[in-house]
Amino acid sequence: MPSSFYVPILLAGMIITGSSNSLWSKWQDMQCVENCSDSNPANHVLYEQPVWQTLQMFLGEMLCFLPVIYTWLRAHQRTVPVFLPDDLEEDTRKIDDTCEELRGWKILLLWLPAACDLTGTTLMNVGLLYTPVSIYQMTRGALVLFVGTLSVIFLHRRLWLYQWVSLLTVMAGISLVGYSGSLIKEVVNPTLRLLGTDQSDPEVSNVLVGVFFILFAQVFTATQFVVEEKIMARYSVAPLVAVGYEGLFGTLSIIMCMPILATPSIASSSPFFDLPRGWYQLVNTPTVLWSGIAIAISISMFNYFGLSVTRHVSATARSLTDTCRTLLIWLVSLGLGWEKLLFPISLLQVLGFSFLVYGTFLFNGLVRPPSFLHPPLVLEETVGGEAEEGEALLASQHMDDTAALPVDLGQGGYDVLPKDVRLHAQGISSAED
């Protein structure tokens, strides 16, 4: 267990880097890249390149290879194994000899979740163009709804009654957040405000379209986590290495799609997929270029902090950290004037966010379910507990087959199912068979 000083640094790092990812992306969307000298703001062209923003994310994930390469080089210069500082304190877990190491051509299996990540992230970047950043971040909380459902269908998990109720609570929270966004017609248009011009009200339909894109993206993100868990249940791979490979495969996928997206018929159909135009805007606009570099670095640091937090703190602390990240994004956007508090409409957003957080905590067993839902007895031992959970960042031999995804890959979100409850459910299923 690390020192009491080290854990707050990890938590603060995860909150700050996780928040900056969304804030930097929204700020990048606000940058004028063409016709900026025109006196009429309506003629200004903003940076709307979700594919290039997805590439930034994958490049940031590829940076996770740096500590892996550094450790590998150190290991070859010594005769004893080299671990990260905190690895010296533990790693007493038993290694499952039946868990095959992911190597050779089997590494290409990680291309499947990378493809899902590419699709989901691109759709979310499109949704961010139409929605305030706080609603964007809150709507992403619907991930637990889709992951829970897919885990039942494809992973054959059993959910308790209180968990189905929690998923309905999450759905109600997301509905309130989306509805509040559709009612706020006086959200500050950040670009026009920066230019000192009269701001216009955003189209309600645009906000709803953005929410739809974000919700639709969660289907692909949930599929990514389910596929990852299927892979990790059979093969062992260090989480940091897995993140790096997914970044590599995602980058290669975008590069291979570039010739297709660069064809005039596709490029002219939507500015979102006009990659040559996006490249020109990127390299000729310093604010876009440097913000892209900042996003890539922030994402790599967020993955590292996320893996460290997963390893050294409880599930309660991780979920609270993700909640604080959403609140910080909202507060910063209010402080920068990107959004306004409009009463009583903003109360709907607060209420929806409260439903979302409570439903997620209830699903993961972090709060005690109501007595009428008859929670299982095993939950009495897990609710309120501070059992340490963790994964070695660079332990090349093994990754626990009960690893809680998506958190174990440092990509935010919440656990699919509490570990003890998952094992208990699997035991019941085996007994019935």
pLDDT digits (tens, 9 = 90+) for 257-278: 988 888 888 877 788 888 889 9
Contact 177, 138 (CB under 8 A): yes
Which among 184, 57, 26 has a CA at the least distance from the CA of 122? 57
Query: What is the model's pTM?
Result: 0.77
Q: What is the pLDDT of residue 287?
A: 94
Q: pLDDT, tens digit, for every residue of 141-174?
A: 888 889 888 888 888 888 888 889 988 999 999 8
Cα angle 392, 397, 401; round to 5? 70
Structure tokens at 319: 């979920």
Which among 412, 432, 428 has a CA at the least distance from the CA of 420? 428
C-alpha dist (Å) from residue 415 to 100, 145, 148, 272, 309: 24, 11, 9, 32, 13
Q: pLDDT, tens digit, for every residue of 204-259?
A: 568 888 999 999 999 999 999 889 888 888 888 888 899 999 999 999 999 999 88
Positive or negative, the CA dihedral 237, 243, 245, 250 is: positive
392: phi then psi, degrees, rounded to nearest 5: -70, 135
81 pLDDT band, cuts 50/70/90, is low
* Share of residues in the chain with pLDDT > 90 (%): 29
